[in-house]
């Protein structure tokens, strides 16, 4: 089937190019009676090249090059590209980009199925949910495939897919929520500085890094984390058709793929080839995957190379800090 489609696309492209070449020769070479023949030949060649591209596009529309779209979710999940933080990881598309790619695949009649390749430790709450909702809304079979890590927000995303596959050595789980902040109160005191900010509302300043948490503030913030956790468990239980209590019993631990499968956290263990074989069962035809990526110009690509060098040098240090504002952060 793959060979026939390729031959069909090539045939259409060649036919369109041949028709354009004949038309160009007639218009630019045969009809002129002056010394414009040389220019005519050049125009014929240009017309043939342009027509070949048009023919290729027509051929791809008649004989699609793929029937399943693949979208990767890699690195920490944030709203914007790069993973956020003071030193964002290069090359990681943000949640909005991932959602756009999924919606593009959903609008493409050729993309009959969606594969989400997951390699993420989790991240921000709402961006993770945006990706889950986009996957859930896809009109067709959706398969999540965990490579190295599918934890926390990554598992939240997977719950929006029909199936979750993992490798035996994949790290899966971490069904929990955490909140964090940097406390700099003692540092300010040693430096002889005093933090003062005017605010309205009793808990407006709860979680700022320049003062110690009062017990009622701690309870308030813990309540938000508990609410997020309940939402996490209930959403995953509904999406994966499992018992919420069994998810709570995992105690936010991570498990290797094989153990996760035995616990029902993963549907199947297998390689990428096994995932493609499963797609062929779902589509009842040979699977042709096309990986979709956010568009990037030359400038962005060159900048990405420099960012990778800087990231490799400083990521280990920067990973220990929160955002520059130091605000209390909720993350899967």
- Cα separation, 180 vs 327, in Å, equals 8
Most confident region among 4-8, 118-122, 189-193, 211-215 by mean pLDDT: 118-122
- Cα separation, 171 vs 146, in Å, equals 8
The reported pLDDT for the residue numbered 197 is 67
Mean pLDDT score of the chain: 78
Most confident region among 48-52, 97-101, 175-179, 220-224 by mean pLDDT: 97-101
Tens digit of each residue's pLDDT (9 = 90 or more) over 122-165: 999 999 999 999 999 999 999 999 999 999 999 999 999 999 99
The reported pLDDT for the residue numbered 23 is 63
Q: How far is CA 141 from CA 105, 120, 167, 206, in A?
A: 12, 22, 20, 44
The reported pLDDT for the residue numbered 140 is 95
Catalytic site residues?
A: 152, 204
Contact between residue 16 and residue 58 where contact means Cβ atoms under 8 Å apart: yes
Give the residue among 138, 141, 177 at the shortest CA–CA distance from 156. 177
Contact between residue 77 and residue 303 where contact means Cβ atoms under 8 Å apart: no
Tens digit of each residue's pLDDT (9 = 90 or more) over 4-21: 555 555 566 566 666 666
Helices within the chain (DSSP H only) = 2-25, 37-62, 95-107, 125-137, 153-158, 185-190, 215-239, 244-248, 257-262, 272-283, 298-318
Helices within 108-184 (DSSP H only) = 125-137, 153-158
């Amino acid at each position: 089937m793959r060979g026939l489609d390729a031959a069909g696309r090539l045939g259409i492209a060649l036919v369109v190019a041949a028709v354009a070449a004949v038309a160009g020769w007639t218009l630019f070479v045969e009809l002129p009676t002056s010394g414009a023949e040389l220019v005519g030949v050049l125009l014929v060649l240009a017309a043939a090249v342009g027509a070949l591209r048009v023919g290729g596009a027509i051929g791809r529309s008649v004989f699609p090059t793929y029937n399943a779209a693949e979208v990767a979710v890699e690195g920490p999940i944030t709203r914007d590209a790069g993973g956020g933080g003071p030193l964002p990881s290069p090359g990681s598309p943000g949640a909005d980009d991932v959602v756009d790619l999924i919606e593009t695949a959903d609008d493409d009649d050729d993309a009959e199925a969606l594969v989400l390749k997951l390699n993420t430790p989790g991240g921000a709450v709402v961006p993770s949910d945006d990706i889950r909702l986009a996957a859930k809304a896809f009109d067709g079979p959706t398969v999540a495939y965990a490579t190295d890590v599918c934890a926390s927000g990554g598992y939240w995303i997977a719950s929006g897919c029909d199936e979750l596959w993992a490798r035996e050595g994949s790290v899966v789980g971490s069904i929990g929520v955490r909140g964090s902040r940097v406390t700099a109160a003692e540092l300010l005191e040693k430096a002889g500085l005093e933090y003062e900010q005017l605010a309205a509302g009793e808990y407006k300043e709860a979680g700022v890094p320049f003062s110690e948490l009062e017990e009622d503030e701690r309870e308030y913030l813990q309540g938000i984390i508990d609410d997020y956790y309940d939402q996490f468990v209930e959403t995953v239980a509904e999406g994966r058709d499992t018992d919420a209590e069994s998810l709570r019993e995992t105690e936010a631990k991570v498990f290797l793929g094989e153990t996760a499968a035995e616990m029902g956290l993963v549907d199947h263990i297998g390689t990428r080839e096994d995932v493609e074989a499963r797609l062929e069962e779902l589509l009842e035809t040979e699977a042709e995957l096309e990986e979709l990526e956010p568009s990037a110009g030359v400038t962005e690509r060159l900048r990405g190379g420099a960012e990778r060098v800087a990231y490799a040098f400083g990521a280990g240090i920067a990973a220990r800090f929160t955002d520059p504002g130091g605000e209390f952060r909720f993350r899967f």
